[in-house]
Amino acid sequence: KQEVTQIPAALSVPEGENLVLNCSFTDSAIYNLQWFRQDPGKGLTSLLLIQSSQREQTSGRLNASLDKSSGRSTLYIAASQPGDSATYLCASYNTDKLIFGTGTRLQVFP
Amino acid sequence: GAGVSQSPRYKVAKRGQDVALRCDPISGHVSLFWYQQALGQGPEFLTYFQNEAQLDKSGLPSDRFFAERPEGSVSTLKIQRTQQEDSAVYLCASSVGMGGYEQYFGPGTRLTVT
């Protein structure tokens, strides 16, 4: 059974820092991996989807990498801003359902 | 185009009441998924449909939970005799097909059972 773990569970940093959020999964037979953002009381906003044949995806200040063999994905946030404060979730596509981690709660202070 | 919509956005039910949560997927999306998100946790899979066929309901926590998608479009998640542990956000997602296609999420329905 797939298990997805995210480290750290919470992170508080000053504005401007470059950040690394980690996601690990136990079953490497995944289709894709996706990173989401969730603001308090809100739904999920998709950030990046990495297909199993890809190693990374970039969007603006965000870069996500995928290493299936080691069961790891990393979300890199450059030059963090207070508006980046949210919970970040990674999820693996196993067959047709998403298996989510418990998230990293990020706070960026001015 | 419209995204995935869910209604109601908030629902308060007394313990023992039945509730029905609605999901309107993106037009043309054949796959529809339901997830449950408890406070402070990541979403957990409940069930999914391809068109009107329910292909996997392994995540439904008990036989009080029932989902349907009779015409292959709108779906309803019904919870009978609600319990306090059913309090959670219920998320619906849709995708163009099976096999790992990207899922697009609705805003969720927050259910509080008192």
Minimal C-alpha gap between B56 and chain A (Å): 9
- What are the C-alpha distances in Å from A99 to residues A16, A90, A107, B9, B55? 31, 8, 24, 24, 17
- Which residue of B43, B100, B110 is in closest CB contact with A32? B100
Between A78 and A93, the higher pLDDT residue: A78
Q: How far apart are CA A92 and CA A100, in angstroms?
A: 7
Q: In the structure encoding, which two tokens stand for residue B14, read together?
A: 């007394």
Mutate to test the interface with B, among A42, A44, A92 (most CBs of B within 10 A): A44
Least confident residue range of A78-82, B63-67, B95-99:
B95-99
What's the pLDDT score for residue A61? 97
What is the average per-residue pLDDT within B29-48?
95
Among candidate residues A9, A77, A7, A67, the one with its CA nearest the CA of residue A33: A67
* Radius of gyration over every alpha carbon of chain B, rounded to an integer in angstroms: 13
Q: Which two tokens stand for residue B77?
A: 């998640």
pLDDT in tens, A43-55: 899 999 998 888 9
Write a three-state SS string for chain A. CCCEEEECCEEEEECCCCEEEEEEECCCCCCEEEEEEECCCCCEEEEEEEECCCCEEEECCEEEEEECCCCEEEEEECCCCHHHCEEEEEEEEECCEEEECCCEEEEEEC
d(CA A42, CA A49): 20
B7 and chain A in contact, CB less than 8 A: no
Average of pLDDT values for B76-101?
94
For A39, which residue in chain B has the nearest alpha carbon? B107
B48-56: average pLDDT: 95
- A contacts of B31 (beta carbons < 8 Å): 96
Structure tokens at A14: 């000053």
Facing A98 at nearest CB: one of B99, B103, B106: B103
- Residue B42 near chain A (CB below 8 Å): yes
Q: Give B42's contacts in chain A (Cβ within 8 Å).
A: 4, 89, 91, 100-103
Is A100's CB within 8 Å of B104's CB? no
What residues form DSSP beta bridges with B36? B44, B90
Distance CA(A95)–CA(B107), nearest Å, equals 24
